[in-house]
Amino acid sequence: MLEIKGLTKSFGDFVAVNDLSLTIHDGEILGLIGQNGAGKTTTFRLILDFLNADKGEVLWNGRKITSDDYNVIGYLPEERGLYSKDTIENQLLFFGALRGKSKEEINGKIDYWMKKFEVKGKRTDKLKSLSKGNQQKVQLIATLIHEPKLVILDEPFSGLDPVNADLLKTAVAELREKNVCVIFSDHNMDNVEKMVDSMIMVKNGEKILDGTVREIRESFGRTKLFIEAEVSAEELSKIDGVLDVKTRQDGSFELTLQNEEVGKEIYKLVTKNGYIPMFNQQPPTLEEIFKMKAGNVNEKE
């Protein structure tokens, strides 16, 4: 279990992380979201002891992280760090050795992981001969091959096409089954929504949302309404509390409501003649919530 308590880090007058606390239990996947400059990467670097915190502490299984504990952490940085003139094999042996693994331990796993991630190439191929996507997969293997208990993934889907992104999603799901703690950041809210057990959103270094995706979405009320009925967009837009009406390609309507109670009045109107094919009232999507809460902040992290 990973615990962060009151973590704070400033660079001069700029507060990158401000009194941040979070907990990740074994077998849990946590999504850390926020705009560029929100404090996500700084948080990862504080966990890994790349930076010294001004205040707060990072605990692993109830105690301060020691140098030995870093051997059970897998970290995929946002900016990749591969040695392009080296071979896949030597690269993975090197990263394994950094995590306290012997050549024999890592060597026996290379073929398995290359097959698992469908790396196009031989283990003796140099990194520079691989496509960008395959280089990304080799770095993912380097993050996981030593069988870490805590995995930190900073923008892991960058450079992956949909097929390879699915391979990564499957691998992350398997980590959950092995009781591994996983924390990752991503700007694709669809990935976050489908993968995480819980999520935290940070802005200006501070936590502004915390909970499961369902809890967070429901907290904003069911203000999105999708209907298919014998009614016009003009009629719908005249209803008090309807903020926006969009006509979709299939002829149905997407409405934004002032509050979820407005849905009851709309339901009375569209069902006055009986059955309608669709009436679906939902909270905002995670992407919509992200845009609402993020604002226009775009500072350097």
Note whether 97 and 235 are same-domain residues.
no
Q: Under a CB-based contact definition with an 8 Å cutoff, are residues 142 and 91 in contact?
A: yes
Model-level pTM? 0.86
Residues 209 and 259 placed together within one structural domain of the fold:
no
Query: So what's the pLDDT on residue 27?
Result: 95
pLDDT value at 206 more than 50: yes
pLDDT higher than 80, residue 192: yes
Q: How many CB atoms lie within 10 A of CB 237?
A: 13
Answer yes or no: do 212 and 237 share one domain. no
The tally of domains found in the chain comes to: 2
Among 169, 198, 217, the domain-final residue is 217
Confirm whether 291 is domain-assigned. no
Where in the sequence is the domain holding 33, given as residue range(s)?
2-217
Residues contacting 7, CB < 8 A, separation 6+ = 17, 19, 20, 21, 43, 46, 53, 55, 56, 57, 58
Parallel, antiparallel, or unpaired for β 55-60 and 63-64? antiparallel
Residue 246: inside a domain: yes
Average pLDDT over residues 44-70: 91
Q: Which helix (H) or strand (E) holds 243?
A: strand 242-247
Q: Could you read off the pLDDT of 121-173 as tens digits, one per residue? A: 899 999 899 988 888 899 999 999 999 999 999 999 887 889 989 999 999 99
39 and 15 in a common domain: yes
The mean pLDDT value for 286-294 works out to: 91
Domain boundary at 164, 186, 217, which? 217
Average pLDDT, the chain: 91
Same domain, 233 and 196: no
Sheet containing 63-64, strands listed edge to edge, beginning at the edge strand earlier in sequence: 14-24, 2-11, 55-60, 63-64
pLDDT of residue 203 exceeding 80, the answer is: yes
Task: Assess if residue 289 is contained within a domain.
Answer: no
Average pLDDT value for residue range 183-212: 93
Question: Who has greater pLDDT, 60 or 68?
Answer: 60
**141 and 173 co-located in one domain:** yes
Sheet holding 29-33, edge to edge: 73-76, 150-154, 181-185, 29-33, 198-203, 206-211
Distance, CA of 26 to CA of 252 (rounded, Å): 44
- Domain assignment of residue 288, yes or no: no
pLDDT of residue 298: 41
* Cα 74 from Cα 148, distance rounded (Å): 6
Q: What number of helices (H) and strands (E) belong to the chain?
A: 11, 14
Regarding whether 87 and 55 lie in a shared domain, the answer is yes
Same domain, 130 and 166: yes
228: domain CATH number is 3.30.70.980
For residue 83, what is the domain's CATH number?
A: 3.40.50.300
